[in-house]
Structure 1
Amino acid sequence: MFIKERVDQLVKKHNTNNPFKIAEELGIQIVYEQLGSILGYYSKTHRCKVIHINESSPREQQIFTCCHELGHALQHPEHNTAFLKANTFYSTDKIEQEANEFAIELLFNQGGDQIVTLREATETYGISEQLVYKNFCD
């Protein structure tokens, strides 16, 4: 599983699964701004990578959004992603699916075998049950 291996290497290299710290160490800017119903998006302009996060989102949602957009920055660095809107985690677009998988792997990677329950994923981070099942129960 390529994404899981990549996330494991990333966590080991940076000694954290904190997406904000990893982005900082990789020189990826994080900008908080009013985005309405948009949770966040990734952009790259003139070799400058930026993760945009909705400053009005709850902190847990900002964490997941940062994980998702970091996935875009690392897996699809040349693409300016479409806006990640509320309740669009079910995108059939391969790039969005990969970013979602990356986000879940990073968010719940503790460098060991810690088990995160479906309830923790859905209640704490607002991740849909469908998305969690797709990534952990397939």
Structure 2
Amino acid sequence: MKDYISSVVAKKVEKFATRDPFVIADGLGIHIIPWHFTDEVQGMYKYERKNKFIFINKDLGEERKFVMAHELGHALLHPKHNTSFLKKNTYFPVSKYEKQANQFAVSLLIPDDCLSEYKDASLSIYEISEMYGVPKELAHLKNF
């Protein structure tokens, strides 16, 4: 599945010439809706009547880009499966859908060549991941 996810990411990055999940979602016609959720809900993907919606908690800070990439993963990998991204499940998802969406987000946000870019810096994989907006708890999902 990792190879499939990597190929989906590569195709979207090539098509839209960006790794920005907001730009890619917009280009795919996915409706992005800022929403006021409780603190527990960070985002949600919804499919209804051939329309795709990503709801993003409008109170998010730095993690906003990662949550968007995660929800975009759902839209592309599980297009007819409605999901919500809960704070308590952010880094330790149980379902295969959540794990795959995290894998998609990590693959999208961290370019494959990022290690060579920082080879002379004394940075750990975890620090590099955080520089790209990926929580350090998910750095292991990137094939470095």
Which bin holds the TM-score, normalised by the shorter protein? Answer: 0.7 to 0.9
Counting aligned pairs with the same residue, the percent is 33
**Aligned twin of 2:121:** none
Shift of 1:2: 1.2
Confirm whether residue 118 of structure 1 aligns to residue 126 of structure 2: yes
TM-score (norm 2): 0.83
Distance (whole Å) between structure 2 residues aligned to residue 47 and residue 137 of structure 1: 34
Candidates 53, 65, 68, aligned match of 2:56: 53
Tell me which residue corresponds to 1:5: 7
> Aligned residues, how many?
132
The aligned counterpart of 2:101 is 99
Length-normalised TM-score, structure 1:
0.86
1:52 partner letter: F
- Root mean square deviation of aligned Cα: 2.0
Matched to 2:126, the amino acid is L
Cα shift at 1:137: 6.0
Q: Which runs of 5+ in 1 are unaligned?
A: none
Relative contact order, CA 8 A, sep 6+: which one is greater? Answer: 1
TM superposition shift of 1:124: 6.5
Q: Distance in 1 between matches of 2:134 and 2:104?
A: 16
Distance 2:20 2:68 in 1: 9
AA paired with 2:51?
A: C
**Whole-angstrom CA distance in 2 between matches of 1:10 and 1:66:** 15
Indicate the structure (1 or 2) with the bigger Cα radius of gyration. Answer: 2
Rounded to whole Å, the distance in 1 between the matches of 2:143 and 2:73 is 21
Q: Quick one: distance in 2 between partners of 1:107 and 1:2?
A: 16
Write the distance in 2 (CA, Å) between the matches of 1:99 and 1:8: 15
> Relative to 1, partners in 2 of residues 1:86 and 1:36: Cα closer, same or farther, differing over 3 Å?
same
